[in-house]
Amino acid sequence: MGICRLCGKDAGIMRKEHKECRKKHDAAIQSLPEYMAEHLFSTDISTVVNRVNEQASVAYVQELELHEVYVRGWERSVEQAFEDGILSQDEEDKLKDLANRLSLNQDELDRKGWFHRLIHGAVLRDLMEGKIPDRLIIDFSLPFNFMKSEELIWLFQNVPYYESVTRTRYAGGTQGVSLKLMKGVYYRTGGFRGERIQEQETRHVDTGLFAVTTKHVYFAGDYKSFRIKYNKIVSFQPFYDGIGIQRDAASAKPQIFHTGDGWFTYNLLMNVQNLG
């Protein structure tokens, strides 16, 4: 007789588990994270946690599996909090409280970037409320020379910096045929280089720190460093993984910074400008 590895009871000859036990177990693994996300912001946290533990117990969910359920439930709860585009203070507090109660550490909460999304949402909320965020901890010396009364809001590290350049080439030129026009004067019909074709190309310039302050954006790499004042920026172009900046100058070319999170970078810069 085999013993069911889930419920611990007789499973029958040559069997390791009951089909019903496996079905109940797998259903709980899938449904409990969704339950957490659906009820965290409308129900007392203790009630939510107790309910999850009870359902996990009757579904034979093991300790390590339950911890994974907690992590996935927290991730889904963050996703749920951002469905309206804004992270409220109450939502932030409940997410932090849940992580503390379940002993979830930052590394496992950020395995898919959700912990950073939580912090990013809190920073944006501060800015929208007219507050200067104080959520950044820097434990190394920065290479920037900030101006008086200028405050650092956010710092992106290891940011590839690109510039848009125009390449010109010619197509259609030949060696040409010479036609005599008058004594001593010739016109070579194919002597020109042909049609001029201009193409835009994005070129990697450097990789370094990209800082957002109350007055400027800064970049500092091994080969290039600069700052741009907000009133000298014509437009921001959001990308999935970064931001494009167009400066107010006749010869200015688009400057692109791959920060890794275009949504946060774009909203950060747009709201910093509104601080006045």
CATH code, domain carrying 244:
2.30.29.30
Kindly report, residue by residue over 166-180, the tens digit of the pLDDT: 776 666 555 555 555
Domain range spanning residue 12?
2-128
As a whole number, the mean pLDDT across the chain is 89
What is the model's pTM?
Answer: 0.81
Domain tally, the chain: 2
DSSP for 128-164, please give it: HTTPPP------S-----PPTT--EEEEEEEEEEEEE
**Strand-strand pairing, 216-221 and 225-229:** antiparallel
Q: Are residues 267 and 200 in the same domain?
A: yes
- Which of the 8 DSSP states describes residue 165? E
Q: Do 63 and 171 sit in the same domain of this protein?
A: no
Are both 172 and 227 inside the same structural domain?
Answer: yes
Q: Which amino acid is at 254?
A: P
Long-range contacts of 64-68 (CB under 8 A, 24+ apart): 65/29, 67/102
The predicted pLDDT at position 169 comes to: 65
Q: Which of 1-5, 124-128, 133-137, 196-200 holds the top average pLDDT?
A: 124-128
156 and 260 in a single domain? The answer is yes
